[in-house]
Homo-oligomer: A and B are copies of this chain.
Amino acid sequence: MASQYPPSLRILLPALILVFEIAFILIFYFFVSYDHPRDLAIYPAFQDVNVMVFFGFGFLLAFLRRYGFSSTGFGLLLAALGAQWAVIVDGFLFHFSDGKVKITLQSLLTAIMSIPTVLISAGAILGKANPVQLILMALIEVTVFATNRWIAVGILQVANHLSLMYVHLFGAYFGLTIAWWLHHPSLNQKVEKETSKPVSHLFAMLGTLFLWMFWPSFNSILIDNSRVKSFAIYNTYFAIASSTIAAFAVSVATSKNGKLSMAQIQNATLAGGVAIGFSASSIQHPWTAMTLGLLAGTISVLASVFFQTCLNPFLGIHDTCGVHSTFGLPSLLGGVAHIILIIAEQWRSSHQSDWGYMALLALGALSLSIVLSFVAGLVTGFLLISKLWKSPPATKYFDDQAYWEFPHLAVGY
């Protein structure tokens, strides 16, 4: 009979993260230096993004009844380690000159804005992977996503701020592919530990609301032109507000007894912010943003019903947090809408010079992200199932007690 206890990470986890941290310090010593600042005007919105990345995503994942410590704690660990690695990778690809990576508030910001990929992927495998696996995933994912951005910006002429809007898409499909590798037969039955309790849903609501409120900052912060920036703020606001309406409406309508599902509300209210990402800076009319948000919220709820009951069991994918319906599909919808809007916009304006070319480039960037996330996810997932990483036994899935000390086991829990 197998042990009831998960393997101890007492050596492996500290060794791994300390080696990485010391390697980071050495790389910083030789290659990274501070640049004279261009401007600190974005600092307040930079803090909004920080709140989203370090607080919002972690608490969004805190909905499981026995996994709040891991959701919020590992979220912080992944973000703190991932952000340092992203500064390095991003730096070498985008900010390298005279043998040095130059750090500015903008470069620190883009590094932090890459971290949602990691936290979204972590949402797909939440409760099924240990922190060692999560960290390895984070470092690989940050690297591949930076490469993705580098190809998109350098070859496919995607604007720098737009290249970061692929985080949701990339994170979702990368994570889902890993979830496919990590699948375990016992996951077909939903166990008690995989459910929520009211208080954990309220913590998740906290995370949801801070993501919701600061999403306009995320979609607009990297835009310099103040007119375009203000449009990105307005569009995100209207899209996320109307996806909230759709979330409530469709959640009630698809429930047998006409009741709302808190999990669907938490996920689908954010779908509008995800979907508008690609076109927040180019949409000129609020009604377009509202329509896109309404669609995104509707699709998100419908997908969460369909995926969780039909598609995922069929494909053998267990998506703990529903990242496919929260981030994957809405982002895909947003990518397609972006291409349609490029075509529509060029059609309307007189100079029809290059609309086909621009739409093709946008399609190429979208396809690139999808393909790269799948391929990288396949390789990463294969690496993560190695016995080296001491993954937890299925009986310890979704359980904080596998990784955290409790003074009195299970008291008050």
Mark A residues whose CB is within 8 Å of B: 8-11, 13-14, 17-18, 20-22, 24-26, 28-29, 32-34, 36-37, 40, 43-45, 47-48, 50-51, 54-55, 58-59, 62, 65, 68-69, 72-73, 76-77, 80-81, 83-84, 103-105, 108, 131, 195-199, 201-203, 205-206, 209-210, 212-214, 217, 226-227, 229-231, 233-234, 237-238, 240-242, 244-246, 248-250, 252-253, 255, 257-262, 265, 269, 284-287, 290-291, 294, 400, 403-408, 411-413
CA distance in complex: A26, B242 (Å)? 13
A260: B residues at CB distance < 8 A: 69, 73, 403-405
Cα A44 to Cα B45 in complex, Å, equals 7
Distance of A369 from chain B, by nearest CB (Å): 27
Known: A37-B229, A68-B198, A105-B233. 14 other contacts (CB 8 A): A9-B252, A10-B252, A14-B248, A17-B245, A28-B238, A32-B286, A40-B226, A40-B233, A50-B213, A54-B209, A55-B209, A72-B202, A195-B408, A262-B405
Q: Name A244's contact: one of B58, B65, B76, B197 (CB within 8 Å).
A: B76
Nearest CB of chain B from residue A202's CB, rounded to whole Å: 5
For residue A47, give the distance in angstroms from its CB to the closest CB of chain B: 6
The reply to whether A21 and B80 contact each other, CB–CB distance below 8 Å, is no
Are A246 and B198 in contact, with the CB atoms below 8 A?
Answer: no
The chain B residue sitting closest to A298, CB to CB, is: B18
Known: A25-B290, A198-B412. A404 touches B262 (CB 8 A): yes
A281, chain B: closest CB distance, angstroms = 12
Can you list 8 pairs linking A and B with CB atoms under 8 Å apart? A10-B253, A25-B242, A32-B286, A54-B212, A108-B234, A259-B403, A261-B405, A262-B405
